[in-house]
Each structure stands twice: as structure tokens, then as C-alpha cells.
Amino acid sequence: MKTNTVFFLLFFFVVGTVYSQSQSNQIPLIGAKAPSFTAQTTNGELTFPNDFGESWKILFSHPKDFTPVCSSELLELAYLQKDLELLNVKFAIISTDNLSQHKMWKAHLEELDYKGRGTQTIQFPIIDDSAAKVSRLYGMLHAPTSDSRYIRGVYIIDPQNKLRSINFYPVEIGRNITEIERTILALQAADETKLLTPANWTTGDDMMVPHFPYTQSDLATNPDLKNDYYNVGDRMWFKKGSK
């Protein structure tokens, strides 16, 4: 009897531990508050996302410093960082490599002339998560690929610190930084107009209306209103853009 009791206690302990670990490694959900953490970075201590204030935030996870694909991504980000700042976007890079490694990698990248653009200064922080604290908060470690290195994750967070977009890329494939910028622009446009963006939308394109755009009463007041809209079939209504 005593042996059975010990067996069941051990069983439930193991199951509970596995369940707890699986829960702690879950990817946070779109619409949820972005998990907060404090860590050391190449720019000093950072409490994310609060220290970035009322900006849009992007958190990039990457597998390992000094790898060629990651290096190309950071150099693209450094090239576009001023454009992203104009969109009220701040971003941070994170991996399980330590701070010393990050600083050496940053110094190395700042010496390179990538695509003939000249050298770039990396102004954004690179976060030390060698203890894998953030990986558990954000579900960055995907065990079938690696249980110690992140896959390429992109978390877009709005000024209210809510997660608005989450994407993962395989370790072999570099991210399209201009597509990430386009996603920010689309989210900002959707928030401002309360409209939707169709496939392949870019700034100034027509946007989609989530419901019938006007009533007969609206037309009686403003007959030209119908000139701002058009439909494709009976399900897709568009508001004309600026292009």
C-alpha cells in the first residue's frame, strides 16, 4: 500500500512538472498583454515593454549570434531603424547568448559594409537571455527544432502593450524586414480608420470596409459619399485610398 502511494505521488509530481513547463513555454496570445521582463542588454538594463513607453514595439528572437542569417537581419534592421523610428516603433533583439557575446557581435557588425550601404550603427538593444527566462514567457524555444536556441520570432506590440502580431520563421530563412514594416503600417492604418487591409496592402491602397459602408439616409445628406466606395461581389466593400 505504501509503495503504491509513493508511486502515485511521484506520478502526479512528474505530470504536474511537465504540465507546468508546457504552460510556461506557451506562446502568448494575440490581444493579450505582452509579458513583462527585466534584462541586461547592450544598451544597459531594459524593462520590456514598459521602458519603450507609448510606442509600437517589436521583439525579435534569433537562434545565435554571429550566424550569417541573423547577421544579415540585424544589418537590415540597422539600415531601416530611422524609418521605423518615424513610425513610432522601437525594437529589441534577443537570444540565449550572453551579454559579452552580444557586445562582440554588435561591434563586429558595425564594422561591415553590407550591400554597399556603408557601415551602420546598431542603436537598438540586444538582450541577454542566457538564463532562458524570456523564452519561457514568450514561447520562443520550439523543442522539435532546438531546446536551447530560439527560432526566428517576431512579436509586434502596440502602444497599449497588447500583442498584435506574432510570426515565426524557420531557422534557415531570414525574415523580410520590409514586410514587418508593412505590417506595422497596416496595423496603424487599421487602428486609425477602423477599416481592414486586403492582401498585399501597402500605404495608400484601397482599404476594406467591415460592413455596408453607408445608408440611404447617409446618401440623402451626402450624395457624393458613394463615390468613395466600391464593391467586388456582394461580400467585399472597399474605400478608395490615396493612390
- 49, 151: one domain: yes
> Amino acid identity of 220?
A
**For residue 134, what are the contacts with CB-CB under 8 A and spacing of at least 6?**
37, 39, 94, 127, 140
d(CA 75, CA 120): 7
Range of the domain at 226: 194-239
Q: Could you tell me if 61 and 173 are in contact, meaning their C-beta atoms sit under 8 angstroms apart?
A: no
- 100, 204: one domain: no
Question: CB 166: neighbour CB atoms within 10 A?
Answer: 17
Of 34, 39, 70, 141, which residue is the catalytic one?
70
Show the CA angle centred on residue 159, arms to residues 136 and 182, nearest 5°: 90
pLDDT at 16: 43
- Burial (0-12, 13-18, 19+ Cβ within 10 Å), 40: middle
The predicted model scores a pTM of 0.85
Number of structural domains the chain divides into? 2
Active-site residue 70, yes or no? yes
- 60, 138: one domain: yes
Q: Does any domain span residue 60? A: yes
- 200, 93: one domain: no
- 100, 153: one domain: yes
Alpha-carbon torsion 141, 144, 145, 148, what sign? positive
> Amino acid identity of 135?
S
CATH number at residue 54: 3.40.30.10
Q: Does any domain span residue 143? A: yes
d(CA 77, CA 122): 8
- 53, 110: one domain: yes
**For residue 100, what are the contacts with CB-CB under 8 A and spacing of at least 6?**
none
- 157, 217: one domain: no
> In a structure prediction context, what are the per-residue pLDDT tens digits for the chain, which is 243 residues long?
555 554 444 444 444 443 334 445 688 999 999 999 999 999 999 999 999 999 999 999 998 899 999 999 999 999 999 999 999 999 999 988 999 999 999 999 999 999 999 999 999 999 999 988 898 899 887 766 655 566 789 999 999 999 999 999 988 899 999 999 999 999 999 999 999 999 999 999 999 998 887 777 777 788 888 888 899 998 899 999 988
